[in-house]
A = this chain, B = another copy of it.
Amino acid sequence: MSTIDKNLTSFINIANDSDFSIHNLPYGIFSETEDGKRRAGVAIGDQVLDLSVLETEGLLSLAGGSYFDKPTLNAFIDSGRDNWTQARQTIQLLLSTDSDALRDNQDLQEKALFKQTDVIMHLPVQVPGFTDFYSSKEHATNVGTMFRDPSNALLPNWTEMPVGYNGRASTVIVSGTDVVRPSGQLKPNAHDRPIFSACKRLDFELETAFVVGKGNTIGQPIAVDKASDHIFGMVLLNDWSARDIQKWEYVPLGPFNAKTFASEVSPWIVTMDALAPFKTSCPTQEPKPLAYLNEKDINNSFDINLSVELLPENAESATVVCETNFKYMYWSMAQQLTHHTITGCKVEVGDMMGSGTISGAAPDSYGSMLEIAWNATKPVTLSSGETRSFIEDGDTVIMKGYSEKDGIRVGFGEVRGKVLPALSFDFDK
């Protein structure tokens, strides 16, 4: 396990509770205006360091070319682990108190540093494939209890494999993008046939996603003890879900329209290098997984605090509705990636793979409104006095995540999305 160098400090003023300490250095894509040039940056405190400027100035040279004056991080990630390491070390040194190259160059600072509140963040990678797993035992049990059979809530395959499904890469959106309430088919119990309607049970799912850093060849599975080499970093993911549409459509081929309208991610990719000091174990896996899923390294999870806040349109403050931790996930990311490729599926740089809703054991650690309000039987009271069983128009959902140890904090920032009213449709013809 990697250790934290507590003596490492930055000349940049960083608040103690900032997610973006010098130990973090997450990568993102930003521009100064909506249509302005997109390039790569690293978050540091409340600022963004423009990596394309460092590259131009000759302060950040990586093997094989230049990577940061580009609208996505794919080329950098694809350039390989040696470059990831080289970039991290170089950037960390440039931002440290010990190095004068940036510290003492006011002109360069003015060119290369931007306030985060002054820039616009974009999707950090072009996402070739989006997959969503279902790896929280508590979540799967809760959903199975509500919708299937409480006495057999967990299906027999659940403890044998990280169950997952293919999502829709085209609707992965970046934090801050408004989400239009979806309309589609749903079937009220009292009706013989479905109706076309705006979703009445709009929900979030608190998840993380990992970003694939190295692909494989089609037909060649990734061994579980090599899988970590294929993972570049992680983001927060709000896997927006239309529960009523999902309930009607999902048998037998799985969720489709209920999920493909928005999968919203945080803009900063926190690298596995930054998260390494926060390694911990997954829960005990019983029965022991089949050999292809059996990891040597039991430190296969991460201690990441996660929360969800709900902010109604005119409320003064947001209400925390969930606090949980990534370490509750039953299946590790390595196991997910290995299982994904075991029949030969090709994965690609930039693929995002969602954890599935991360629920803990207690009701205040459940990762979706469906579970928190227990299928609308226990509505939540917000600080504004309003109650919620699902998400209403005008509500903003904010997810946050961070790791902390020995006073050192490495965080994700947030993924934030606001719900707009459904479109109106006119089918008269």
Contacts and interface: CB of A to CB of B under 8 A. Distances in A.
Given A254-B165, A429-B296, A346 B170 contact: yes
A429 B294 CA distance: 10
B254 A252 contact: yes
Interface stretch (A31-39, A45-53, A179-187): A179-187
A168 B387 CA distance: 40
Contacts of A171: 218, 344-346
B261 A194 contact: no
A403 to B, nearest CB: 29
Contacts of A346: 170-171
A150 interface: no
A169 B128 contact: yes
Q: Indicate the size class of the contact surface on chain A.
A: 35 or more
Interface stretch (A92-100, A155-163, A375-383, A408-416): A155-163
A169 B287 contact: no
A363 interface: no
Contact of A262 (B166, B251, B344): B344
B225 A429 contact: yes
Interface string A397-429: 000000000000000000000000001010101
Interface stretch (A18-26, A74-82, A103-111, A241-249): A241-249
A22 to B, nearest CB: 36
A251 B427 contact: no
A187 B161 CA distance: 12
A215 to B, nearest CB: 8
Given A185-B161, A248-B157, A343-B183, A129 B253 contact: no
Contacts of A180: 219, 344
Copies in the complex: 2
Interface in A126-167: 128-129, 134, 148, 155-157, 160-161, 163-167
Contact of A163 (B161, B245, B253): B253
A255 interface: yes
Given A218-B171, A218-B173, A242 B343 contact: yes
A286 to B, nearest CB: 12
Contacts of A291: 196, 427
Nearest to A144: B252
B166 A261 contact: no
A304 to B, nearest CB: 24
Contact of A294 (B261, B340, B427): B427
A400 B226 CA distance: 41
A196 B258 CA distance: 32
A186 to B, nearest CB: 11
A76 B425 CA distance: 32
A348 interface: yes
Interface string A247-275: 01111111111101110000000000000
23 contacts: A155-B251, A155-B252, A157-B251, A160-B193, A160-B194, A161-B194, A163-B249, A163-B256, A165-B256, A170-B347, A171-B344, A182-B343, A183-B221, A193-B287, A218-B262, A220-B423, A250-B254, A254-B254, A257-B343, A257-B345, A260-B344, A260-B345, A294-B427
